[in-house]
Amino acid sequence: MRTDPTWGIRLKLSKSDRHHTWSEDEIAQFEAFHPVGLKARLALALGLYTAQRRGDVVRIGRQHIRNGVLTLRQQKTGATLAIPVHPALQAVLEATPVGHLTLLTTKTGKSYASNDFSEQFRSWCDAASLPPHCVFHGPRKAALTRLADAGCASHQIAAISGHKSLKLIEHYTRAADQARLAMAKTMGTQKCRTRANLCVETIERLTKKRRVRTQTGSMGLISAAPCAAPQARVCL
């Protein structure tokens, strides 16, 4: 073909897919620079342990938490969610001075507008020497990744994140399933190699004994090595 029919066609990605998912190392780096008790650490914890968007996180207040459950109505979807408060988030909440109406407030005690919060969070990331692609939506995606890695099904994750479509959630669960299968395969291979090595060692030991017994005139162990050999073939 002289021309490529797909030339110039751009695939439209969902807005969420454009954001970088924070790695565990990046999370640890932010936490190391911003210890528990600071507003920066509270902001990260809210994103990481509620899996909510920026516009919802800045509206969360003490009044939304009752008996260990955070209840909120999402701005984007209108869905009302009841999210158990993670012990790590609870520890941060107890150690951090918070505002009356919202947990996150500006230096003047006012609630954040979404864009103002993004700028503030960017400055916290810069202080922790995190790259520009580390934005606040990243901890939300990291939370989804953690839930998937923990074995949560798509509908269970959506019950926390508020996603109406399971397609985005399945992206995380597929990746988690692949990782688990790969790990299982790797561990299985390692166990198989260990068993194979034991089989080979057994064969060599029995073969050596056979030679010794043969030299001394005893034939009692001659058939031992052939019995062990099939096990080695199975393991390998």
CATH number at residue 143: 1.10.443.10
Together in a domain, 208 and 150: no
Model-wide pTM > 0.85: no
CA quadruple 44, 48, 53, 54: dihedral, nearest 10: 0
Element spanning 84, H or E: strand 80-84
Owning domain of residue 229: 188-235
pLDDT in tens, 42-94: 999 999 999 999 999 999 999 999 999 999 999 999 999 999 999 999 999 99
Separation between Cα atoms, residue 95 and residue 101, nearest integer Å = 17
- Residue 183 is assigned to a structural domain of this protein: no
The crossing angle, in degrees rounded to 10, of helices 167-216 and 224-235 is 160
Q: Between 228 and 213, whose confidence is greater?
A: 213
Number of domains in the chain: 2
Q: What is the CB neighbour count within 10 angstroms for residue 36?
A: 15
- Residue 70 is assigned to a structural domain of this protein: yes
Given a contact cutoff of 8 angstroms between Cβ atoms, the answer to whether 23 and 133 are in contact is: no
Predicted pLDDT of residue 193: 54
Together in a domain, 136 and 203: no
Query: Percentage of residues in the chain with pLDDT exceeding 70?
Result: 69
pLDDT in tens, 151-193: 888 889 999 999 988 888 887 878 777 776 677 666 555 554 5
Together in a domain, 206 and 115: no
Together in a domain, 51 and 158: yes
Together in a domain, 101 and 149: yes
Q: Which of 108, 132, 164 is the last residue of a domain?
A: 164
Element spanning 146, H or E: helix 137-149
The candidate with the shortest Cα–Cα distance to 160, out of 90, 94, 70, 27, is: 70
Together in a domain, 216 and 136: no
- Residue 175 is assigned to a structural domain of this protein: no
Predicted pLDDT of residue 220: 36
Together in a domain, 155 and 194: no
Given a contact cutoff of 8 angstroms between Cβ atoms, the answer to whether 29 and 70 are in contact is: no
